[in-house]
């Protein structure tokens, strides 16, 4: 039997060991402050803080300055939880008329009531501190519900319902050392692979005399499933289809943004929108970006461009790396001035033909970028291409921007003769674009000499016609706005490893490395590009693992070969299984909540990475730029 002294000795040692353990730390698990978010937005719109607070759900009304409303339906917030002795802190207020009616707010955690409080101070801010019982606070996801007893309705004279006005939410808990490590792993954005500053191991150095010409023609707003060569039942693109039959047609190229300024910046820079920062009409591509044109020029190419869209102009930084960059909308033309809205779609091809007749340097290969506007709004097919009816249509739809806006806001139904006419005008405009491509190819073949040419046909984004409730582009991350054509022709100029990836998932940022790989070109040693760029260059036969998408509202999304996760705001977050539901009609976020939350964390990690540039440049629009953008319905 042990002596009392030995037992005391053991107890003393145990007490010493316990005393050496680090005491729990009080940690701020989630911090949401609307005023802070508006001044220093996180992830573009500012409503989700990178720590812990990972979703707002139903019951919230549109953001107001410095607060958000919870009204008739209980408003829910999802938190990532860990630790113990958790406490919520809320700052909120209510409308004076509701205070007079003894407005009450019920707070529930995981559907168990924590507190019922009466807000009687009107616009005076109340601060609530609420302890969460240990038996309710568990590691994983916690839900906070806020339910009001009363709210102001439109019949009370309010345009939108008004209830309790929430200004900020915080959640704190005590974490021990192990939990702290888990929390840091959960909330610290995972670093992306370090960009390489070296040329690819497979980069080839080809003599200038062996390099082919490259003619890239971008057809604005051309959704892939309206190309007859991609399976559409109308013969919209016969000349492009013939070119594709001699070449390689890629089946799964997606824009990273459904609007021109962002998407073409991605095409030209080989970088995601997060990196190049061209998100709005005020942004321009930073000079530090090493563009596709600069890559061609460094390899010995002469570089020329003609654009018919003011979002692809000098104001957007699009001219970087081009020896010549002509903005078609700034060139006086009697034909253009005689057209509706001052837009003559043939203008860039006329200018293209004129430039070719001036001659190209026969000692150097040429990279020529030609940006055509049809079938972009205003959907002007012209009499030669207005082929798809309806033959007896006598209604008001002419295809201009007000028509499209009327459909988009629901003033016109997404079915019937007016709808059919709108789609037919778009298809006729695509047919007109196809004819412009044919004219450009004829002019090129007549003037470009004996050097072979790699022809590149693609688009910057698609166009919606009521799918997922929207028309036009800019707004949603679904296929109708993002899935675009991509054709390289002839096939003999495309190496087998690039051809073999024709059916794999591709992003707009992949076009740059795929072209360099096809031509056997590398990058200067001093140029830094994202690791994803070299992954596509080195392994062009492999599918891209993911594409991150940004729409203009903003809406974010993460797309893989089989899934699409959409993150708009606390009222619109969706998750789709594209293998079983390719048109993305059935939201599985509630039935596959764990998968959706993993998607959210991946998006969070992506967004939290710093841009390689300080910021995008500021655009300066000329009066001619502004007039062109107005004609296209942007302003």
pLDDT in tens, 160-200: 778 888 888 889 999 998 888 888 776 665 555 544 444 54
pLDDT in tens, 131-156: 999 999 988 778 898 899 888 888 88
**What's residue 241's pLDDT?**
97
Q: What integer is the mean pLDDT of 500-523? A: 95
The per-residue DSSP string of 204-261 comes to: ----GGGPPEEEEEEETT--GGGSGGGT-SS---HHHHHHHHTSEEEEEEE-SSSSHH
- Does residue 378 surpass a pLDDT of 80? yes
Three state DSSP letters for 388-417 = CCCCCCCCCCCCCHHHHHHHHCCCCCCCCH
Q: Is 536 helix (H, G, I), strand (E, B) or coil?
A: helix
Element (H, E) at 353: helix 347-357
Residue with the bigger pLDDT between 79 and 503: it is 503
Q: Judging by DSSP bridges, how do beta strands 103-109 and 84-94 pair with one another?
A: unpaired
Which stretch of DSSP H or E encloses residue 144?
strand 140-148
Domains, the chain, in order of start with CATH, read 25-187 (2.60.120.1200), 218-507+540-631 (3.40.720.10)
Cα-based torsion angle of the residue sequence 76, 78, 82, 86 in order, rounded to the nearest 10 degrees: -20
Taking each helix axis from N to C end, the angle separating 347-357 and 417-447, rounded to the nearest 10 degrees, works out to 0
Looking at residue 281, its pLDDT comes to: 82
Q: Which pLDDT does position 390 carry in this prediction?
A: 85
Counting every residue, how long is the chain? 635
Measured between alpha carbons, how far is 264 from 250 in angstroms, rounded to an integer?
A: 18
Is residue 81 very low, low, confident or very high in pLDDT (cuts 50, 70, 90)?
confident
525 pLDDT band (50/70/90 cuts)?
confident
Query: Is pLDDT of 301 > 60?
Result: yes
**Dihedral sign for Cα atoms in the order 433, 483, 468, 581:** positive
Q: What is the pLDDT of residues 545-602, one digit of tens each?
A: 999 999 987 789 999 999 999 987 555 678 999 999 999 999 998 788 778 878 877 8
Instruction: Provide the 3-class DSSP secondary structure of residue 452.
Output: coil
Is residue 335 exposed (0-12), middle (13-18) or buried (19+ Cβ within 10 Å)?
Answer: exposed
Residue 48 has a pLDDT of 40
For residues 404 and 379, what is the distance between their CA atoms, to the nearest angstrom?
Answer: 10
Q: What is the mean pLDDT of residues 312-326?
A: 95
Of the ranges 218-227, 289-298, 613-622, which one carries the lowest mean pLDDT score?
613-622
Statement: the pTM of the whole predicted model exceeds 0.85? no
pLDDT digits (tens, 9 = 90+) for 243-278: 999 999 999 999 999 999 999 999 999 999 989 989
Distance from C-alpha of 603 to C-alpha of 55, rounded to nearest angstrom: 13
Q: Which has the minimum average pLDDT: 2-6, 253-257, 606-610?
A: 2-6
Contact 200, 527 (CB under 8 A): no
Contacts for 90 with CB less than 8 Å, ≥ 6 apart: 107, 127, 128, 130, 166, 168, 169, 170
On whether the CB atoms of residues 505 and 561 are closer than 8 A, the answer is yes
Phi (first) and psi of residue 552, to 5 degrees? -80, -5
């Amino acid at each position: 039997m042990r002596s009392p002294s030995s037992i005391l000795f053991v107890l003393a040692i145990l007490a010493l060991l316990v005393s050496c353990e680090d005491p729990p730390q009080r940690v701020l698990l989630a911090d949401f402050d609307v005023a802070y978010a508006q001044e220093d937005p996180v992830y573009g719109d500012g409503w989700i803080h990178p720590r812990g607070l990972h979703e707002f759900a139903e019951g919230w009304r549109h953001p107001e300055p410095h607060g958000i409303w919870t009204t008739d339906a209980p408003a829910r917030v999802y938190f990532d939880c860990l630790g113990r002795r958790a406490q919520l802190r809320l700052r909120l207020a209510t409308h004076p008329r509701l205070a007079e009616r003894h407005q009450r707010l019920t707070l529930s955690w995981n559907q168990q009531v924590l507190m019922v409080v009466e807000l009687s101070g009107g616009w005076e801010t109340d601060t609530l501190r609420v302890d969460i019982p240990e038996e309710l606070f568990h590691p994983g996801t916690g839900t906070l519900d806020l339910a009001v007893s009363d709210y102001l309705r439109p019949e009370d004279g309010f345009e939108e319902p008004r209830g309790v006005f929430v200004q900020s939410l915080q959640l704190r808990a005590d974490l021990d050392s192990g939990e702290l490590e888990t929390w840091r792993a959960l909330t610290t954005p995972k670093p992306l692979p370090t960009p390489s500053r070296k040329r690819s191991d497979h980069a080839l150095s080809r003599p200038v005399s062996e390099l082919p010409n490259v003619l890239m023609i971008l057809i604005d707003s051309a959704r892939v499933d309206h190309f007859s060569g991609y399976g559409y039942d109308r013969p919209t693109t016969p000349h492009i289809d013939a070119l594709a039959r001699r070449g390689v047609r890629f089946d799964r190229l997606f824009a990273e943004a459904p609007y021109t300024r962002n998407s073409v910046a991605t095409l030209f820079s080989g970088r995601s929108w997060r990196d190049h920062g061209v998100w709005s009409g005020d942004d321009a591509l930073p000079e530090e970006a090493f563009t596709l044109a600069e890559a061609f020029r460094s390899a010995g190419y002469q570089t020329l461009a003609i654009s018919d869209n003011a979002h692809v102009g000098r104001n957007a930084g699009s001219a970087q790396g081009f020896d010549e960059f002509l903005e078609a909308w700034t060139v006086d033309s009697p034909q253009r001035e005689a057209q509706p809205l001052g837009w003559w779609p043939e203008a860039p091809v006329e200018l293209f033909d004129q430039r070719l007749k001036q001659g190209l340097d026969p000692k150097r290969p040429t990279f020529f970028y030609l940006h055509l506007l049809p079938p972009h709004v205003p959907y002007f097919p012209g009499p030669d291409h207005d082929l798809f009816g309806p033959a007896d249509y006598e209604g008001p739809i002419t295809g201009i921007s007000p028509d499209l806006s009327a459909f988009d806001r629901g003033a016109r139904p997404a079915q019937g003769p007016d709808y059919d006419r709108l789609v037919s005008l778009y298809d006729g405009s695509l047919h007109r674009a196809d004819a412009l491509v044919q004219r450009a190819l004829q002019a090129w073949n007549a003037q470009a000499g004996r050097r072979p040419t790699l022809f590149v046909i693609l688009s910057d984004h698609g166009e919606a016609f009521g799918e997922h409730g929207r028309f036009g582009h800019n707004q949603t991350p679904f296929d109708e706005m993002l899935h675009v054509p991509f054709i390289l022709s002839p096939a003999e100029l495309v190496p087998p490893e690039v051809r073999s990836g024709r059916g794999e998932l591709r992003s707009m940022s992949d076009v740059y490395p795929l072209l360099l790989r096809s031509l056997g070109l590398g990058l200067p040693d001093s140029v830094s590009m994202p690791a994803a760029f070299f992954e596509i260059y080195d392994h062009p036969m492999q599918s891209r693992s993911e594409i991150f998408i940004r729409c203009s509202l903003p809406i974010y999304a993460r797309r893989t070969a089989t899934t699409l996760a959409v993150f708009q705001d606390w009222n619109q977050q969706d998750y789709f299984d594209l293998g079983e539901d390719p048109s993305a009609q059935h939201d599985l976020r509630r039935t596959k909540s764990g998968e959706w939350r993993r998607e959210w964390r991946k998006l969070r990690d992506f967004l939290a990475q710093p841009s390689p540039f300080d910021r995008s440049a500021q655009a300066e629009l000329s009066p001619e730029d502004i007039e062109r953008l107005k004609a296209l319905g942007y302003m």
